[in-house]
Chains A and B, each alone.
Chain A
Amino acid sequence: MKKIAFTAAGAIALALFSQTAATGQTKLSRNEIINSLRDAEVQVKVNADDLRAQALQNIKQHPGDNATTSLPLSEQLAKLRQFNVEITFDFDSDRIRPESYETIGLIADALHTPYLWGQTFFVVGHTDAKGKREYNLELSQRRANAIREALVTTFRVPEGQLEAVGLGEEDLRDPQKPDSEINRRVQLINVGF
């Protein structure tokens, strides 16, 4: 069973975030993003490098098929103003699919409003637990980089406002269902001024 499941996983493996068009998803709006991200209260000291290092460390220290421990920083991050979006990519690639361009545009429009000016945001990419952890970590970082790149170039968001972090499968949304697509997501986190 395990073996079959693993082979199947290999085939669809590294479909990060969401490969498929979302089914019956309610339409995302700019104001929804703004309202979820604005009015950050807590002053936080989280560093993107630390977060990336913790994900890598998690794999080295606790090897195995799936992550069994959460990241030291994840509890702190969970308290921050944030929003989850789905961005779809080409299979096994960091090329953003055209159907997700509008979502990136909405994020840009939100970041261009005075409600969110001058604040710093992490763009955090997550995968489900299918496939190898190291690979997921690397691909999710490249995908987070692609989103950040699009936002700071094509969509003119000031560079200093965004950090891209890929956490692979090291910070699952639903650890009870590690292979569920609910885990594939892009988190926008407001880390403050």
Chain B
Amino acid sequence: MIRAFAILAVMALLGISGSGGAFAQTIGFADAIKILHSSCGADIEKYCKNVNLGNNRIQQCLQKNEANVSDQCKADYAGVYVMLQKRFAAQEAVTKVCDRDIQQLCKLVKQGKGHVLNCLLKAEPSVSDKCNQAITDAGYR
């Protein structure tokens, strides 16, 4: 799935998918699944009737049936895939982007990413735009 649909992901990046920028920059799992449920729900019920959600089995099933899966499902899957990857990247990047803010505002907070981020969330009005944006992109707000 990941490999075959990675091609689609590239297509989406190049704007070939045709699903036309209707999505926000990054996306959470619930919104991702909502889009996929509406675009791929019929395909899932048709081709993956006995497949459960865990271990990426639904994605693998859709991949296996790629030839039959609707274009809408493929296109939206690609778009959603890109936005999820962006969110994961944003989550990875937060502490780096927010380094200065952490030094300035959350220096005395208990160690651990959770405590530091909770501090940044509370200090939102004093936090730099760049860091606030990173926190938003990471879906932490």
A106 on the B face (CB < 8 A): yes
Majority DSSP secondary structure for residues of A touching B? helix
By the criterion CB–CB under 8 Å, are A95 and B50 in contact? yes
Residues of A within 8 A of B91 (CB): 112
By the criterion CB–CB under 8 Å, are B55 and A106 in contact? no
By the criterion CB–CB under 8 Å, are B55 and A105 in contact? no
**Which of B52, B114, B117, B141 contacts A95 (CB under 8 A)?**
B52
Which residues of A in the span 53-104 have a Cβ within 8 Å of any Cβ on B?
A: 94-96, 98-99, 101-104
Residues of B within 8 A of A95 (CB): 50-52
Stretch of B10-18, B37-45, B66-74 with 4 or more beta carbons under 8 angstroms from chain A = B37-45
Stretch of A16-24, A114-122, A126-134, A182-190 with 4 or more beta carbons under 8 angstroms from chain B = A114-122
Bound-state Cα–Cα, A113 to B58, Å: 25
Given A99-B37, A108-B30, A149 contacting B55 (CB threshold 8 A): yes
In the complex, per-residue mask of A124-151: 1 if CB is within 8 Å of any chain B CB, else 0: 0000000000000000000000100110
By the criterion CB–CB under 8 Å, are B139 and A112 in contact? yes
**Which of B52, B59, B114 contacts A114 (CB under 8 A)?**
B114
Per the CB 8 Å criterion, the residue count for chain A at the interface is: 27
Give, as a whole number of angstroms, the nearest-CB distance from A83 to chain B: 15
Residue of A nearest to B58 (CB): A154
By the criterion CB–CB under 8 Å, are A104 and B52 in contact? no
Given A112-B139, A118-B114, A98 contacting B41 (CB threshold 8 A): yes
By the criterion CB–CB under 8 Å, are A155 and B29 in contact? yes
Per the CB 8 Å criterion, the residue count for chain B at the interface is: 31
Bound-state Cα–Cα, A186 to B96, Å: 37
By the criterion CB–CB under 8 Å, are A105 and B34 in contact? yes
Give, as a whole number of angstroms, the nearest-CB distance from B101 to chain A: 14
Give, as a whole number of angstroms, the nearest-CB distance from A112 to chain B: 7
Bound-state Cα–Cα, A154 to B114, Å: 22
By the criterion CB–CB under 8 Å, are B32 and A117 in contact? no
By the criterion CB–CB under 8 Å, are A105 and B113 in contact? no
Bound-state Cα–Cα, A115 to B44, Å: 33
Give, as a whole number of angstroms, the nearest-CB distance from A26 to chain B: 16
By the criterion CB–CB under 8 Å, are A114 and B30 in contact? no
Which residues of B in the span 3-61 have a Cβ within 8 Å of any Cβ on A?
A: 28-34, 36-37, 41, 44-45, 50-56, 58-59
* Top 8 closest pairs, chain A to chain B, by CB: A149-B54, A105-B30, A114-B117, A105-B29, A117-B114, A105-B33, A150-B53, A109-B28
Apart from A95-B50, A113-B140, what 20 extra A-B contacts exist at CB < 8 Å? A98-B44, A99-B37, A101-B33, A101-B36, A105-B31, A106-B29, A106-B30, A108-B29, A109-B28, A112-B28, A113-B139, A114-B114, A117-B113, A118-B114, A149-B53, A149-B54, A149-B55, A150-B54, A154-B58, A154-B59
Return 14 A-B CB contacts under 8 Å, by A number. Answer: A98-B44, A101-B53, A102-B33, A102-B34, A105-B33, A105-B34, A108-B30, A109-B30, A113-B139, A114-B121, A117-B114, A146-B53, A152-B54, A154-B54
